[in-house]
Amino acid sequence: MPQGQEVGSPITGERRVFMTGNEVIAWAALAARADIMYGYPITPQNEIMHYWTRLAPKYGKGFLQTEDELSAGFTTLGGVMAGRKAFTATAGPGNVLMQEPMSMAEAMRLPVVVAVMQRGGPSTGTVIYSQQEVNLTTFGGNGEGLRVVYSTATHQELYDYTIKAFNTAWRYRFPTFILADGYQGKMREPLTIYDPVERGIELLAPEAFLGLPGTPGVDRPPAQYRNTYNLEEELQEVLLDYIEEYEKVAPEIVEHDDLGTEDAEVVVAAHGVVARACKQAVEQLRNEGLKVGYFRPITLRPLPVDALRAVAGRTRRILVVESAYGQLGRLLRDGLYGLTVEMVSHYKPGVGITPEEVAAHARELVS
Amino acid sequence: MAAPSMPRSWRRDTKPHKFCPGCGHGIALRALGQAIDHLGIQDRAIFGCDIGCSLLAWDFFNVDTVQTHHGRTTPVMTGIKRAKPDLVCVAYMGDGGGYAIGAQHLVNAAARNEEITVILINNTLYAMTGGQMAPTTMPGQKTETTPYGRDPELTGPPLLGPEMVAAITPEGAYVARGTVSKLKQLTKIMIRALQNQIEGRGFSFVEVLSTCPTNWRTNAEETWSFLEEKMPSYFTVGEIKVPAAEGDGNG
């Protein structure tokens, strides 16, 4: 079946399902009318490909298993330039290799979508879980980190934000990441899947960068993309335009979640699945009458700086909780620069975090 | 005497081009331009160039173009072709991009018989980065990283790229080695390499022996004798693999 041909939606109506996160991403990509996936196996994201290769041919979608992540990233860029909704997925050392094509995507403003299921690091680390790919995914390439990074916490969010990621990428033309982790990829959880079009969500149509109608130089100018400039000033001019545009649209893109921050003496800040443990801990402490709040950036890049600073202006302390050694902490500290709020850390690189330990730590800070 | 005509598919407002005097890229790109003209594919050809000297061709043609790097031109063209098979995708790179840093892409695209055309310029060294050893540097050849001449005992013999590609490609692939010293033959090879893709037979690969007087530090006469005498003694020029369907073999 030719690629990119619409053969109906894979989902009609709303369906309550019980799926692994990797399976959710494959379904969501189909629901978002993605055309083609280019991928390379690495744990813990493999099942995104496994499900895609089972589902995709039924809906006229394409797939290529490449020789490595460099190739997966660059073929994805090729698919995007050809005017298809192309995406890829990776983790850990694969995410390291993926930074080279993503830097080119930033340079050429290509709307590529990447799902990252974080695993332990540095290097091969562990194969299942961590939150240690925040630095890499937000600012990992050579360049300025002109990307959008959604950090998901639940399977419902994996579904919702995968669909949203395609729209964000094609609307703003910055590479867009769904940053999850191996726990999310591998565990099963209930969620509702749906056809976004039936819900009234407009899905942006892809547009071709290359191979447009007409003969270049005769009917139209040739489309010529490069990532090399002859002069430093020439590059700066292009980059300053991109940066200005990125900063202009950042307020439209940023998202966060918070709870009880209006009166909190301590605010617990976290992202991804760790934020679930933190939210549960904060709800429990508030039930006990303690003035504890919760703040979670959903976009790690751009960071919801205004919301964060507003919270910080009302509280005495922020407890940063993450399964990494200060990768979120560094983003938050940067966002809080100039404010006098105290930052306390609860860092467990590569290890999961329970509501009980967060509650215990937060309790110490308020009592 | 009338000046030689430019291929129609060349972009005139970017000429004269940016390559050094005596560089072979202009000749190779002329052959490619004539092949594009001959086949009438200017409206659906996609030209991908790599990092190194080949990047200077990013605005060379009136053809949609993307300039990438490190031999990644092969996967970018693969991605485009897989997404839109009616386009004719040409990956244009040097010996470093194809045989060293990007070798895994060349090897795997060849093994999968991707329906793209890869054109690789062999000038026996890394030119834009300042003249270091490449996989194709000749035995005894002096470069910035082999200042006493390349010793194959230490660094291995020069890589025979087309022979490798011919060995690993399935039926349907087209593989040839041309030289900028034989423009007519090179143009014919380019036409056949593109035709092979258009007809959907498989991977097409052309290595082009080319000149770099800047880094070779040679005058005109020495440049030409290195290209015409020294290089072909190791790198055999001609068609190496033609699809059975093509029939007429060794053009």
Mean of all residue pLDDT scores within chain B: 95
**The tokens of B119 are what?**
């054109």
pTM of structure: 0.96
**The tokens of A254 are what?**
């940023």
**The tokens of B188 are what?**
């014919």
Of A64, A68, A71, which to mutate for an interface test with B (greatest number of B Cβ within 10 Å)? A71
Q: What is the mean pLDDT of residues B8-36?
A: 97
Nearest-by-CA chain B residue for A86? B83
Do A38 and B79 count as a contact with CB atoms less than 8 A apart?
yes
Chain B, residues 65-94, CB within 8 A of chain A, namely: 65-70, 72, 75-85, 87
pLDDT at B251: 40
**Strand (E) or helix (H) holding B177:** strand B174-179
Q: What is the CA radius of gyration of chain B?
A: 17
Nearest by CB to residue A78, choosing from B58, B59, B78, is: B78
Nearest by CB to residue A210, choosing from B51, B80, B108, is: B80
Do A74 and B64 count as a contact with CB atoms less than 8 A apart?
no
Q: What is the CA radius of gyration of chain A?
A: 21
Nearest by CB to residue B79, choosing from A76, A217, A218, is: A76
**The tokens of A79 are what?**
């698919």
Phi, psi at A62, each rounded to 5°: -105, 160
Tens-level pLDDT at each residue, chain A (367 residues): 444 445 567 888 899 999 999 999 999 999 999 999 999 999 999 999 999 999 999 999 999 999 999 999 999 999 999 999 999 999 999 999 999 999 999 999 999 999 999 999 999 999 999 999 999 999 999 999 999 999 999 999 999 999 999 999 999 999 999 999 999 999 999 999 999 999 999 999 999 999 999 999 999 999 999 999 999 999 999 999 999 999 999 999 999 999 999 999 999 999 999 999 999 999 999 999 999 999 999 999 999 999 999 999 999 999 999 999 999 999 999 999 999 999 999 999 999 999 999 999 999 999 7
Return the number of other C-beta atoms located less than 10 Å from residue B8's C-beta: 16
pLDDT at B5: 86
Residues of A in contact with B87 (CB under 8 A): 82, 210-211
Cβ atoms B106, B92 nearer than 8 A:
no
Residues of A in contact with B63 (CB under 8 A): 216-217, 222
Cβ atoms A294, A274 nearer than 8 A:
no
Do A108 and B76 count as a contact with CB atoms less than 8 A apart?
no
How far CA A225 is from CA of A109, A330, B58, in Å, comes to: 10, 34, 7
How close A322 gets to chain B, by Cα (Å)?
36
The neighbouring-strand residues paired with A103 are none
Residues of B in contact with A71 (CB under 8 A): 72, 75, 78, 104-105, 108
Nearest-by-CA chain A residue for B65? A224
**The tokens of B69 are what?**
């790097």
Is the CB of A215 inside 8 Å of chain B's CB atoms?
A: yes
Chain B, residues 2-21, CB within 8 A of chain A, namely: 9, 11
Residues of B in contact with A226 (CB under 8 A): 55, 58-59, 65-67
The size of chain A, in residues, is 367
pLDDT tens digits, residue range B35-61? Answer: 999 999 999 999 999 999 999 999 999
Is the CB of A239 inside 8 Å of chain B's CB atoms?
A: no
Nearest-by-CA chain B residue for A66? B108
- Cα dihedral B46, B50, B53, B56 in deg (nearest 10): 40
Nearest by CB to residue B82, choosing from A79, A104, A108, is: A79
* Cis-peptide, bond into residue A304, ω within 30° of zero: no
Cβ-count burial of B2 within 10 angstroms (0-12 exposed, 13-18 middle, 19+ buried)? exposed
DSSP one-letter code for A181: E
How close B46 gets to chain A, by Cα (Å)?
7
The neighbouring-strand residues paired with A65 are A39
Q: How far is CA A10 from the centre of its chain?
A: 23
Do A211 and B87 count as a contact with CB atoms less than 8 A apart?
yes
Do A222 and B66 count as a contact with CB atoms less than 8 A apart?
no
Cβ atoms B133, B122 nearer than 8 A:
no
Cβ atoms A331, A230 nearer than 8 A:
no
CA A31 – CA A25 distance, rounded (Å): 10
Do A222 and B43 count as a contact with CB atoms less than 8 A apart?
no
In this structure, are strands B88-94 and B45-49 parallel, antiparallel, or unpaired? parallel
How close A96 gets to chain B, by Cα (Å)?
16
SS3 B36: helix
Residues of A in contact with B104 (CB under 8 A): 67-68, 71
Of B10, B76, B115, B116, which to mutate for an interface test with A (greatest number of A Cβ within 10 Å)? B76
Nearest by CB to residue B80, choosing from A4, A78, A222, is: A78
CA A73 – CA A107 distance, rounded (Å): 14
Residues of B in contact with A212 (CB under 8 A): 64
DSSP one-letter code for B120: E
CA B111 – CA A197 distance, rounded (Å): 41
How many degrees, rounded to 5, is the angle at CA B232 between CA B155 and CA B135? 25
pLDDT at A10: 82
Asked whether this complex has an ipTM greater than 0.90, the answer is: yes
pLDDT at A1: 40
Return the number of other C-beta atoms located less than 10 Å from residue A9's C-beta: 15
How close A81 gets to chain B, by Cα (Å)?
7
Cβ atoms A318, A312 nearer than 8 A:
yes
SS3 A178: strand
How close B233 gets to chain A, by Cα (Å)?
34
Cβ atoms B97, B50 nearer than 8 A:
yes
pLDDT tens digits, residue range B65-85? Answer: 999 999 999 999 999 999 999
Cβ atoms A359, A281 nearer than 8 A:
yes
The neighbouring-strand residues paired with A317 are A266, A342
Closest CA to B114 of B73, B66, B154, B79: B79
Residue found under tokens 């030289």: B179
CA A270 – CA A240 distance, rounded (Å): 31
pLDDT tens digits, residue range B175-193? Answer: 999 999 999 999 999 999 9
Of B78, B80, B88, B116, which to mutate for an interface test with A (greatest number of A Cβ within 10 Å)? B80
Sequence-distant (6+) residues with CB within 8 A of A23 are A47, A51
pLDDT at A7: 58
- B183-198 vs B25-39: helix axis angle to the nearest 10? 50
DSSP one-letter code for A153: -
What ranges make up the beta strands (E) of chain A? Answer: 15-20, 36-39, 62-65, 86-90, 113-118, 148-151, 176-181, 188-193, 224-225, 256-259, 266-269, 292-297, 299-301, 317-322, 342-347
How close B129 gets to chain A, by Cα (Å)?
14
Residues of A in contact with B61 (CB under 8 A): 216, 222
Is the CB of B106 inside 8 Å of chain A's CB atoms?
A: no
DSSP string, A95-148: HHHHHHHHHHHHHHT---EEEEEE---STT--SS--STTHHHHHH-SSS----E
Cβ-count burial of A40 within 10 angstroms (0-12 exposed, 13-18 middle, 19+ buried)? buried
Q: What is the mean pLDDT of residues B188-217?
A: 98
Cβ atoms A52, A115 nearer than 8 A:
no
Residues of B in contact with A208 (CB under 8 A): 84
* Ramachandran area for residue A326 (φ above 0: left; ψ -120 to 50: alpha; else beta): left
The answer on pLDDT for B249 being more than 80 is no
CA B145 – CA B122 distance, rounded (Å): 18
Residues of A in contact with B105 (CB under 8 A): 67, 70-71, 74
